[in-house]
Amino acid sequence: MKLNRRLFMGATAAAAASMAAPMVLAAGHGKPRVVVVGGGAGGATAARYIAKDSKGEIDVTLIEPTRMYYTCFFSNLYLGGFRDLASIGHSYGTLAAEYGINVVHDWAIGVDRDTKTVALAGGSSLPYDRLILSPGIDFVDGAVPGWDLSAQNKMPHAYKAGSQSELLKAQIMAMPQGGTFAMVAPPNPYRCPPGPYERVSMVAHLLKHVNPTAKILVADPKEAFSKQGLFEEGWNTHYSGMIERIGPDFGGGNVEVRPDTMELVIDGEVNKVDVCNVIPAMKAGRIVDAAAINDGNWAPVIAHTMQSKMDENIHVLGDSSAQGDMPKSGFSANSQAKVCANAVRGALTGSKVFPAKFSNTCWSLIDTDDGVKVGANYEATDKKIAKTDGSVSQTGEDAALRKTTYEESVGWYAGISADMFG
Ligand SMILES: Cc1cc2nc3c(=O)[nH]c(=O)nc-3n(C[C@H](O)[C@H](O)[C@H](O)COP(=O)(O)OP(=O)(O)OC[C@H]3O[C@@H](n4cnc5c(N)ncnc54)[C@H](O)[C@@H]3O)c2cc1C
């Protein structure tokens, strides 16, 4: 029977129950085949866990256009001068050589859900028994008037790391003394809730050393943001007088940019700026639309397995998924990938499936050794991934605790990189 959308959405609890007594779905064509689209925090982790734990019982193909994945996590630390670019770049060689994953450097451009095949930009197509989509984010067209991808060289987003991060850093270094760095912050929901504000901190840290009379201007459509009290305390302590944030009450949500003249218009007032970091509103990576498993900007999933609510043969991980309470972060994507890998293996080989549990911590660096964090644990319910408990750094903490928090983040970075790429 082919599941239609309504039937499958109503089958959430049944799907979860079926994970307890898994069915071997792939029969008649040799080993079951898993295709993973996107070799980032979600996709690389899922591919590695399925390959590692199935010990050759499942064929795993990973489709990823880039040869080198630059993590967005710690890309702000690169801007601040705490990391070099090479230290946040990772290749796929170990996944191919040691885990037997078929790494295909190409774009997935279409999904035929009837024939269960993925079409690649290079012209070929790949069959799957289970498809895992973890394509990260794309930007909502027209979200910031005056900005589109053709303007990203003049006004970088640097919200996909790599060349955009390098460009933004070069522009900051080339600012005239006393110049202005501007940021257009994104509306909710977006990847890495503290990311723009950690970036403000890291840019301030850099400017304090190379351009101490420079100013930072942030236009923000949100009333409030992640770890706001902690960031504002840190900005007062370390970067007093340098940062001005204009929230929605003062027109921070009513912006237009003019890349040719380097102008940022906030609520009708024209600001001439030297660097303009535009972070537009976000949506799921475009392949989610192509698969037609989106509901609006994101792809709804069943919390127990990360299966699409619209197609039981497709799982969606990380930023692209609409899953409930978890923030869109690398930690979350990695955590979801392990739940998904376990469910996929169970469904395809009959291996034991454990109840889904998730966790996340987002660390941010405000200045040298001044690290803060917010974290939580989550469980799968029939409605969503639901938060069970959480914790956050406090204002006024002593320097030793802040240093320990930063050091934790360095350990986490090494751990998640190894968990993704082997
Ligand atoms: C500045 C910044 C700082 C951040 N800091 C942190 C942090 O400290 N901690 C944290 O946990 N998270 C952080 N994040 C968030 C984190 O980077 C993302 O949430 C995480 O990478 C999401 O994982 P993902 O697998 O969904 O997407 P990604 O990791 O972005 O991976 C998506 C991959 O899919 C590929 N792809 C896209 N479309 C296709 C296609 N059609 N075919 C084939 N491949 C495709 C892309 O090339 C990409 O490699 C930060 C983000 C930013 C921008």
Q: What is the whole-number distance in angstroms between the Cα of residue 352 and the centre of ligand 1?
A: 29
Residue 15 has pLDDT above 80, yes or no: no
Whether 128 is in the pocket of ligand 1, judged by its Cβ within 6 Å, is no
| Residues written for the chain | 422
Residue 325, C-beta contacts closer than 8 angstroms, at least 6 positions apart: 376, 378, 384, 385, 386, 387
Q: Using CA atoms, how far apart are residues 76 and 306, in angstroms rounded to an integer?
A: 29
Q: What is the whole-number distance in angstroms between the Cα of residue 57 and the centre of ligand 1?
A: 28
Q: Using CA atoms, how far apart are residues 135 and 319, in angstroms rounded to an integer?
A: 8
The pLDDT of residue 414: 98
The pLDDT of residue 137: 98
Is there a contact between 135 and 46 (Cβ–Cβ < 8 Å)?
Answer: no
What is the gyration radius of the CA atoms in the chain, in angstroms?
A: 22
Token duo for residue 232: 């504002």
What confidence tens digit (pLDDT) does each residue in 217-236 have? 999 999 999 999 999 999 99
What confidence tens digit (pLDDT) does each residue in 98-130 have? 999 999 999 999 999 999 999 999 999 999 999
Predicted TM-score (pTM) of this structure? 0.94
E strands, 21-124, where? 33-37, 59-63, 68-70, 89-91, 102-104, 108-112, 117-120
The pLDDT of residue 257: 98
Q: What is the whole-number distance in angstroms between the Cα of residue 92 and the centre of ligand 1?
A: 15
Give the amino acid at 85: L
Res. 6 pLDDT band, cuts 50 70 90: very low
Q: Which residue has the CA at smallest separation from atom 22 of ligand 1? A: 330
Mean pLDDT across the stretch 172-180? 98
| Eight-state DSSP code of residue 226 | T
Q: Using CA atoms, how far apart are residues 48 and 103, in angstroms rounded to an integer?
A: 11
Q: What is the whole-number distance in angstroms between the Cα of residue 89 and the centre of ligand 1?
A: 13
Whether 54 is in the pocket of ligand 1, judged by its Cβ within 6 Å, is no
Q: Using CA atoms, how far apart are residues 360 and 322, in angstroms rounded to an integer?
A: 16
- Residue 188's SS3 state is coil
Q: Which residue has the CA at smallest separation from atom 23 of ligand 1? A: 41
Phi-psi region of 299 (alpha: psi -120 to 50; beta: other; left: phi over 0): beta
Whether 38 is in the pocket of ligand 1, judged by its Cβ within 6 Å, is yes
Residue 158 has pLDDT above 60, yes or no: yes
Say which residue the tokens 């009837």 belong to.
114
Whether 195 is in the pocket of ligand 1, judged by its Cβ within 6 Å, is yes
Q: What is the whole-number distance in angstroms between the Cα of residue 330 and the centre of ligand 1?
A: 7
Phi-psi region of 30 (alpha: psi -120 to 50; beta: other; left: phi over 0): left
Q: What is the whole-number distance in angstroms between the Cα of residue 181 and the centre of ligand 1?
A: 25
Long-range contacts of 50-57 (CB under 8 A, 24+ apart): 50/341, 50/344, 50/345, 51/95, 51/99, 51/100, 51/101, 52/99, 53/341, 53/342, 53/345, 53/351, 54/345, 54/348, 54/349, 54/351, 56/100, 57/31, 57/32, 57/348, 57/349
Q: Are strands 299-302 and 321-322 parallel, antiparallel or unpaired?
A: parallel
User: In Å, how far are 48, 109, 125, 176, 333 from 288, measured between CA atoms?
Assistant: 22, 10, 17, 42, 16
Q: Using CA atoms, how far apart are residues 308 and 305, in angstroms rounded to an integer?
A: 9
Q: Which residue has the CA at smallest separation from atom 33 of ligand 1? A: 38
Say which residue the tokens 């040298």 belong to.
368
Res. 20 pLDDT band, cuts 50 70 90: very low
- Give, for ligand 1, the residue of 192, 279, 338, 405 to mutate: max count of ligand atoms closer than 8 Å to Cβ: 192
The pLDDT of residue 368: 98
| Residue-wise burial string across 208-230, b where 16 or more C-beta atoms lie within 10 A, e elsewhere | eeebeebbbbbbbbbeebbbeeb
Q: Using CA atoms, how far apart are residues 72 and 74, in angstroms rounded to an integer?
A: 6
DSSP 110-128: EEETTTTEEEETTS-EEE-
pLDDT over 90, % of the chain = 93
Residue 259 has pLDDT above 90, yes or no: yes
The pLDDT of residue 22: 37
DSSP 343-383: HHHHHHH----PPPEEEEEEEEEEETTEEEEEEEEEEE-SS
Q: Are strands 275-278 and 282-284 parallel, antiparallel or unpaired?
A: unpaired
Give the amino acid at 268: G
Mean pLDDT across the stretch 38-60? 98
The pLDDT of residue 179: 98
Q: What is the mean pLDDT of the chain?
A: 94
The pLDDT of residue 29: 65
With CA atoms as reference, report the closest residue to 237 among 373, 402, 409: 402
Residue 19 has pLDDT above 50, yes or no: no
Q: Which residue has the CA at smallest separation from atom 29 of ligand 1? A: 40
Residue 298 has pLDDT above 80, yes or no: yes
Token duo for residue 35: 């295709």
| Eight-state DSSP code of residue 163 | H
What is the atom index within ligand 1 of the atom nearest the CA of 76? 1
Say which residue the tokens 């037609």 belong to.
292
| Angle in degrees, CA 91, 139, 105, rounded to 5 | 25
